[in-house]
Amino acid sequence: MCGLLARFSRKQNYSFPLAKLAGLIEHRGPDASGAVGWNDSSDIRDLAGLESTDMDHVLCHKRLSIIDLHDASDQPFQSEDGRFHLVYNGEIYNYVELRDALQGKGVQFRTSGDTEVLLNCWREWGPACLARLEGMFAFVIYDREKDCIFAARDPFGIKPLLVYRSDDEIIFSSELAPIVEWIKPDRFDPLSAAYSLRWGMNDGDRKTIIPGVERLPPGSFVSLELETLSLSETESYFDLDRIEKRDWQYGEAVEALRTCFLESVERHMRSDAPIGFALSGGIDSSAIVCAAHYLGHRDIKTFSYLPQDERISEKRWIDIVARHVGAETHFIRPATGAVLENLEHVVRHQGEPFASLSIYAQYEVYGEVARQGVKVLLSGQGADELLAGYISYYQLAMANALKRGDVSIFMRYVRHFSARFGISNGAILRNLARSLLPYGIRQSMGKRQFSQMAPWIEADAMQAFGMDAWADLALHDPTSSSITALLVQSIRRSLVALLRYDDRNSMAHSVESRVPFLTPQMAELCLSFPDEFLIDEAGVTKKVFRDAMRGIVPDDVLARADKIGFAPDNRAWAPALRTLPLGSGDTRLEGLIMGEPLESALDHAESKEGTQLAFLWRSINLLALRQNMIGATL
């Protein structure tokens, strides 16, 4: 996992501060650095070590060495004949199998890593190679013969690729910071800011908070003709909607999922650097740790966040798994003083809004991973979106049972829902009734509730900027009652944000995060299952996966009915909101956020809980980002 920066320009003889801009992503790849550049009429030149360059076109790379630690795999990576030049962020987990296939075609290799495999896959198969890759990646390739650029991103958006486009310049970057430093924006995109205030993120959209900067969508690619600086339309190579349901026998599905998951974990452990495991105590992270042990991996180091509040601690479950595999455990309990000191660093490294302070807890976990000398961490991210682990999926299952008139199944769902999420039966029924209202009514209710919970935010101004999503979107589509359709929606809308948080937090500490649940093979399998394999008639969630893990994961963990996850110590951490630099003067709060009501809310931050504290955090987060991004204003 690394960082890339690529710039293609028609600004003749215009100095580009290469060292300064690339330095802003140094944390993504501290092990090696490289850069090349060229003009239309010049050869490609080595720019390593230069402070600036007047070359029109530049490829820059910061390397975190994970597979093939030798400098022969440093980037930019050049093909033997000099035609292709590659900068690449990520890992190709099936590189061993791809290498074998290419060698069968007569391709020779001079390194043992996945970078050269990726370049030769492109050379052999072109864009069709993307369907063969199992991994997380974002890359840019220059084809010198055709004088064109090709850029692609992995199917789920695990690795970031941002694109800035102007009339005479196009920049690709792993993070916003180099682009912001170069173009010096004077404002945020108001609609993106509005969505961030309501939902804490806007990653499901191509636009970022910086005007002119977009995300290359997951599972897509673009090409760029350098002669005209013409960027093609985005093309998709992986489409979740094309995955079809299959007529599964349950036992067959259990075995297929078990085999696919174990193969994925095994490939995700391919590394020449030390690896560790995130362990929350939930089924997903426990399954990865136990699968590694089942596959023969014995030197298991686990890393677990523990809140100060014992009521929301999962240590009991973590201990069960750790004993089962003989793990060396590491527990992270962030002190309030550390939050006060480090929250600004988290905001700066994230570079875009994030929904809650739970992201700070994740940041601290990666800090401990790095301090222990571990460079690769496997986590359970993505399992909830493939196997229906969130509340919204359960609500839909209950609504479907009610619509069918299956009262007994509906009541079992209610009881299991209450046990799993710690919500009273009355609250469950009220929320369900609200979710079944016409979407227009839910929109009006959502806006009114938002205005009451966050009176310092101008809801009417948000709406004037185009904000049109006030209610939870999970159940509003009257044409679909499919849990699978909701899973696809979640992967596209919210998972991309969680992956972005994970990428920035891990890279802030020069650690590679890997997510074994998120492979095309796992997605094609899980999304082909009937809904009742995911949530059965007894109300058991992730039913098919629990059964697939029998004999691998301890039965006590597989029988868990509750769900906690990263639960931050909100009351203890709330004072940290005061430590963030927000700027000065009333003008810093113009447009969407009102100064005096916000100051009043901050004075009572410790007394706020749940949704209201989340809205307060999102406002402070946005203002702190603006202050950090060279005076951008709303």
Both tokens of 569, joined, read 């110590």
Q: For residues 190 and 583, give the distance between their C-alpha atoms in angstroms, rounded to a whole number.
A: 18
Cα-based angle 464, 469, 472 (whole degrees, multiple of 5): 155
Nearest Cα to Cα of residue 176 among 355, 366, 350, 354: 350
Tokens of 20: 């300064």
Smallest Cα–Cα separation from 493: which of 174, 195, 165?
195
Q: Per the structure block, which two tokens stand in for 211?
A: 């005007």
Tell me the C-alpha distance between 521 and 251, whole Å. 19
Residue 562 annotated in ligand binding = no
Tokens 């196997």 locate to: 387
Active site (annotated) includes residue 2: yes
How far is residue 537's CA from residue 332's CA, in Å, rounded to a whole number?
Answer: 38
Sheet containing 213-215: which strands, arranged edge to edge? 45-46, 32-38, 57-63, 2-9, 169-173, 162-166, 213-215
For residue 413, the SS3 value is helix
Task: Tell whether residue 379 is among the known ligand binding residues.
Answer: yes
Q: Is 592 exposed, middle or buried (0-12, 13-18, 19+ CB in 10 A)?
A: buried
Is 281 annotated in a binding site? The answer is no
Of 355, 354, 356, 312, the C-alpha closest to 333 is: 312
The alpha carbon of residue 355 and the mean position of all alpha carbons in its chain are separated, in whole angstroms, by 13
Phi, psi of 401 (to 5 degrees): -65, -40
CB contact at 8 A, 504 and 175: yes
Element (H, E) at 230: strand 230-231
Strand spans (E) along 93-161: 135-143, 148-153
Tokens describing residue 79? 């093909």
**AA identity, residue 59:** L
What span, in angstroms and rounded, lies between the C-alpha atoms of 550 and 272? 31
**H/E stretch holding 342:** helix 336-350
Among candidate residues 2, 60, 129, 290, the one labeled active-site is: 2
- What is residue 402's three-state secondary structure? helix
Rounded CA-CA distance 209/213 in Å is 8
| Close Cβ partners of 191 (under 8 Å, ≥ 6 residues apart) | 207, 465, 466, 467
What torsion, rounded to 10 degrees, do the Cα atoms 483, 247, 535, 435 define?
20
Q: How far apart are CA 58 and CA 55, in angstroms?
A: 7
Which residues carry a binding-site annotation? Answer: 114, 379-380
Instruction: Show which residues are catalytic.
Output: 2
Which residues carry a binding-site annotation for ATP? Answer: 379-380
Which residues carry a binding-site annotation for L-glutamine? Answer: 114
